A and B are shown apart, each in its own frame.
Chain A
Amino acid sequence: MAVLLLAEVAGGALAVDATAKAATAGAKLGDVTVLVCGPAAAGDEAAKLDGVSKVLVADDAAYANGLAENLADLIVSLAGDYSHIIAPATTTGKNVLPRVAALLDVMVISDVTEVVDADTFKRPVYAGNAVQTVKSADATKVISFRTSTFDAAGTSGSASVEAVSGAGDKGLSAFVEDKVVESDRPELTSAKIIVSGGRGVGSEESFGIIEALADKLGAAVGASRAAVDSGYAPNDMQVGQTGKVVAPELYIACGISGAIQHLAGMKDSKVIVAINKDEEAPIFQVADFGLVADLFDAVPELTEKL
């Protein structure tokens, strides 16, 4: 079994955490080759990942911004040698893989959380309220892996690196601009601790108390959809079915009621703490430690006492 892993590249550098977690998943299926669409330096980073036997680097402007049309064609041109084509279930992975699958006339298997065997996988459906085990009859399995359920591969490897090239720009789409949210805090999907705020925070200014607690803990900051829609936090912070799926050691939910769609993004966290003044809030049903209190009193007090 040979596995082709599309590495996650962001801002011209390898997104090590997401790629390393997908590499762990890929290693359960066979011999992993990583495809890096980015500069040589990112390829060298990928070559250090444990369990990776080879790295292919496609350093071409056509592939630099993750345009699905160009990337999918490149992957399809390489697909013949592989039984599995995989990627972390990031926005890039989700954008590109289904296109690859359709070009190969196979189904895509999205957000896989567990590998049962080479063609059987588990994936959550209905916002994580059910888990399906699916068996694929396709010749090539195209899979995106939910990274929050896999450990990151170590970085003591030394795979060989070779350059590859594809047909380049198809000319269907063009990159215009990126607006990347600047943050000094840990990245949400790989953080050990996350402090999240919801509608109960009340305003963008009040979100400062959430950030203060996060900074005290060295944590990432998350938000519910309500908080994002109300403009309290940027949307790349959204945790949930349609935002990011996280599974940190500690998840502190402040002023979040715990709607089905939010729980889908965080209920695999090791320990969940909920601070909410409504003792009937559904979040308390999944919280290991619940505190019924006004977050405007409790959060600053918690920040002070930690």
Chain B
Amino acid sequence: MKVLVPVKRVIDYNVKVKVKADGTGVDLANVKMSMNPFDEISVEAAIRLKEAGVASEVVIVSIGEKKSVDTIRNALAMGADRGILIEEDQGVDIEPLAVAKILAKVVEEEAPELVILGKQAIDNDMNATGQMLAALLGWGQATFASEIEIADGKAVVTREVDGGLQTISTALPAIVTTDLRLNEPRYASLPNIMKAKKKPLDEKTAADYGVDTSPRLTVVTTEEPAAREAGIKVGSVDELVAKLKEGGLV
């Protein structure tokens, strides 16, 4: 079966973002960008399905500015087979609803039996694209997966939920979104990075799919969160206990 893995190029998770003083957004100039960590986990999950003989082909798709090619190549170097870039203008973060609509068209074209997405992107923290895609396709969804087993035309998925773990089975074709504990993504080796340069990569635009990507949510302003007042360092446990009692906390 074919597995489709959408990946997103985001600001690297170790970077402390700076909010622009004029409230128009965060400063992305000269900031290190990487593949969204959850998407790395999705790519790894898909490649493992291929290694297990369950999947025959792993297709990577990314929607974003031209440089998202790097993110796709990175996934190809990990072991995916080919890529599709759907180009968007620089500095536009299209909403999950529009992303899901484009992905639905890609699914129509590619006819995968499984789409594996990350549970959320660490930039907009929406946690919505996978669920929205499942809705548009009328497929079952298994979100926040920490274990995936494919058998008998079903995906049996263990999900990370608030009180512990929940296992569900969902009929294929299906949408799965990945949680942190699903796997440990591999690093691409140098020979594989070189090989990935030769793997096929189609380039398209959102307009090719006839999807209206205009935002439903207007960002009025982006601000710094309220700063915490500086604290104090105490010299001993006794002093800490005294401070906590003083504040009526214990």
B-binding residues in A (CB < 8 A): 10-11, 65-69, 72, 90-92, 94-103, 105-111, 120, 123-138, 171-181, 189, 193, 217, 225, 228-229, 234-236, 241-242, 244, 249-250, 260-261, 267, 271-273, 279, 284, 286-293, 298, 301-302, 305-306
| Partner of B160 from A69, A91, A106, A293 at Cβ < 8 Å | A91
CB distance from B172 to the nearest CB of A (A): 10
**Can you sample 29 A-B contacts with CB below 8 Å?**
A66-B166, A90-B162, A91-B161, A98-B127, A99-B134, A99-B141, A102-B100, A102-B133, A105-B97, A108-B132, A126-B123, A127-B13, A130-B19, A130-B26, A133-B220, A133-B222, A135-B220, A138-B216, A172-B139, A173-B140, A180-B164, A181-B163, A181-B164, A260-B14, A273-B240, A289-B233, A305-B238, A306-B241, A306-B244
Once the chains bind, are B144 and A95 in contact (CB under 8 Å)? yes
Known: A133-B220, A288-B232. A179 touches B141 (CB 8 A): no
Task: Find the B residue at minimum CB distance from A136.
Answer: B217
Once the chains bind, are A306 and B250 in contact (CB under 8 Å)? yes
Highest count of chain B CB atoms <10 Å: which of A179, A189, A244, A272: A179
B92 contacts chain A at the CB level, 8 A cutoff: no
B136 contacts chain A at the CB level, 8 A cutoff: yes
Task: Find the B residue at minimum CB distance from A259.
Answer: B14
The distance in angstroms between the C-alpha atoms of A176 and B69, with both chains bound, is 39
Once the chains bind, are A174 and B220 in contact (CB under 8 Å)? no
Once the chains bind, are B125 and A127 in contact (CB under 8 Å)? yes
The distance in angstroms between the C-alpha atoms of A124 and B226, with both chains bound, is 11
Interface residue tally for chain B (C-beta within 8 Å)? 80
The distance in angstroms between the C-alpha atoms of A272 and B134, with both chains bound, is 40
List residues of B (186-245) whose CB comes within 8 Å of A's CBs: 215-225, 228-229, 231-234, 236-238, 240-241, 243-244
Q: Find chain B residues with CB under 8 A from A228 CB.
A: 181
The distance in angstroms between the C-alpha atoms of A271 and B14, with both chains bound, is 25
